[in-house]
Structure 1
């Protein structure tokens, strides 16, 4: 006879582990199931290892900026040593996450969960039952279905390369492609980024994207725009990439960075009346699927917010409370998104495109901050921002930043927007000077 749980959580990543821990703290009996690595994508093969590699890129860029301004000599990236540093972190994630769950006395199973019937799942043959089920299975890299697609590697492969090939090509101009291309180029590779139209990073301000691309081009990255790749052929001198026209490129490694797919197609959702599609599992504003006892959170859910680790945790905290006592629909805070390239590109709140459709409601200020003291002291090549202000209130409601500290600035701006801090209130604060925070009053 199978063991009965209050809640079964499918997926041992940031969303699932936060969910299981929250339920346990509320006195619920919970089982968490994982088919791959405990800890999920972010710490094993996503944001955390990527940021470790990027930290070396940032250090190299900072030294480059200061050539002739107080530093002599640019350090080279030692890829094997950097990879050892990365693995020093990632190698402990699986066991550490599993150990943390067990220390909380949360039941775990490793294997593929599959809905056999309502409230009943199999996990590689073991039958488990639960009153409610929370799906938090995340996403995986998409592989374009072109001729020779078997030669594609993914971001997972790139983040665990033993050596950096001489020539690396990325297919897909989203944030993953830009970030990994930045790393590969800084590590010495000849880098191409192929995109099917002329508008990569389509969700970001086009002028700032253009400026980012100009910076990356100056660093040696080649952008091949309006190229609809059709075939990869293995030849004696490498991998030969072609389209239906006159594009041809030979490379040593080709990474498919053309988006990600929700892990919702191996769960047997059709057996329990759960609807899902290209953007994930359909949920309502209580994160509930068409089946009243099944919920979906994190990257696998079809929600109107970016697929980000902090939002996965936010949804887990909401749903933990919801399963204990049903309440209000989920309400999302303003959420920043960013591209960890060089320089970094970040955005939060009302976009410049949205503001342009309502010119009476919003005003957009474009700022070139390159000569501001904050960026002069860093010898930053370029620092740009666009700030969206609500005309009636004078409050900042959106912002886009391009600089080497854009990730820091966007967090400050997120706080100003979420807490509705006016310029007058900002000027009542005394912050350390000179710092990026001391620039905030000049952005209104």
Structure 2
């Protein structure tokens, strides 16, 4: 049977773009559809613009620290619309780069929403109407979207999607959630001068991370002016003449100018034709795949957040690359999900890889040792900033292998990348100890812990 394409991808996020580009480089005829912009959540309304906003929000602290180094400044002011315009310009540039890369690899990009009609046919709905195409193999890489609770007045809330395009900053905002998106945006808004409350229904923010790191971040956020309220949730939102009135589970009312929800993300599977075709999914909608990212229909695949394994951009990229190599280059490839490093661009930032202390104790019992170092980063000494960094190593005693590394403090994301390589290679504590320190640096603490 002849098809229009060897490989057709629905969704132009990180996983879909990488899979389509690599499949085309292996000689496949590839088509890709996207109904918004190329680059996906990470580039358009996620990691990239978020980190740009984090940079912007940190300048307030930098200006304050500058006096400790002899720099004095007058008349400093912040302009939100200028930041948004600069961010949009950079996103436009990146979108253009993605489009050029796909074009240069002979991937046909179609601006339309894709829907499966049968196992080889995709319906495309775009501005110019509806058409269909056929493909031998199909990849679903539609990512995930923010999840909102079903409470009265939820239509007045925003998510991270809308936060990037606010016309003006509110005087006060509540961020609901306790994951990395919530703590990052709480730091952003607070740093930009917005009175910020972080509301989380759990007993401590950043569930699933090392407990000591979680406690440390809560404390430092409070020191910076964020009101962190755990074991607190919103039961209703009411629009008033002054803004929004939030009814909370403790019976109190919080008056804010805006409320942003960061309470998790769910796979983007609506109106894809999955149910009609019989594609197996989990209760939350995530597409079920095997080690080759194949669904229960053998020519249909899925990667990235839509399969809800590890919702990280670099993971989606590796999954897309592995799929393309396996299916179009006769090179069976598997993604190794052990020791995946991650960074949280909170303020202060966090870098982490491997087991947290509690998780390690649960798995290995008494067969672990914990090494820790807490100190004030050198850059904060002259300004007199009291913020302290915390670094931890988790070691399995019987093997001497380092099975976890965690840091909260300046440059944590940059530092943890190198440490992650060591853990991936199975480095031992003795090998960490034998490594010469880079002095003076915060990173040297990872090889000096005794």
* TM-score class, shorter: over 0.9
- Quickly say closer, same or farther: Cα 1:419–1:374, change in 2 above 3 A: farther
1:60 aligns with 2:60: yes
Match of 1:314 in 2: 318
1:163-216 Cα offsets, whole Å, 9 max, x none, are 211111111111111111111111111111111222221011222212211111
CA contact (8 A) 1:279 1:302 kept: no
Cα offset for 1:143?
1.6
| Alpha-carbon distance in structure 2 between the residues aligned to 1:431 and 1:387 | 16
Cα offset for 1:228?
2.7
CA contact (8 A) 1:345 1:403 kept: yes
1:41 aligns with 2:41: yes
1:262 aligns with 2:263: no
CA contact (8 A) 1:5 1:130 kept: yes
CA contact (8 A) 2:57 2:189 kept: no
CA contact (8 A) 1:276 1:282 kept: yes
CA contact (8 A) 1:195 1:224 kept: yes
Q: Which runs of 5+ in 2 are unaligned?
A: none
1:14-73 Cα offsets, whole Å, 9 max, x none, are 111111110011001111111211111111111001111111223332343454454445
| Alpha-carbon distance in structure 2 between the residues aligned to 1:383 and 1:349 | 19
Given the two structures, how large is their TM-score scaled by the length of structure 2?
A: 0.91
- Which stretch has the larger CA shift, 377-386 or 24-33? 377-386
* Partner-residue secondary structure (3-state), 1:145: coil
1:207-261 Cα offsets, whole Å, 9 max, x none, are 2212211111122111222223121111111111113551211111111111111
1:287 aligns with 2:293: yes
| Alpha-carbon distance in structure 1 between the residues aligned to 2:285 and 2:416 | 27
- Which stretch has the larger CA shift, 138-147 or 387-396? 387-396
1:241 aligns with 2:246: yes
1:418 aligns with 2:424: yes
Match of 1:250 in 2: 255
Match of 2:5 in 1: 5
- Which stretch has the larger CA shift, 392-401 or 433-442? 433-442
- Quickly say closer, same or farther: Cα 1:286–1:2, change in 2 above 3 A: closer
Count of matched residue positions in the alignment of Structure 1 and Structure 2: 441
CA contact (8 A) 2:175 2:186 kept: yes
| Alpha-carbon distance in structure 2 between the residues aligned to 1:425 and 1:289 | 42
CA contact (8 A) 2:267 2:308 kept: no
- Quickly say closer, same or farther: Cα 1:355–1:175, change in 2 above 3 A: same
Given the two structures, how large is their TM-score scaled by the length of structure 1?
A: 0.92
| Alpha-carbon distance in structure 2 between the residues aligned to 1:328 and 1:188 | 48
Cα offset for 1:78?
3.1
| Alpha-carbon distance in structure 2 between the residues aligned to 1:31 and 1:364 | 50
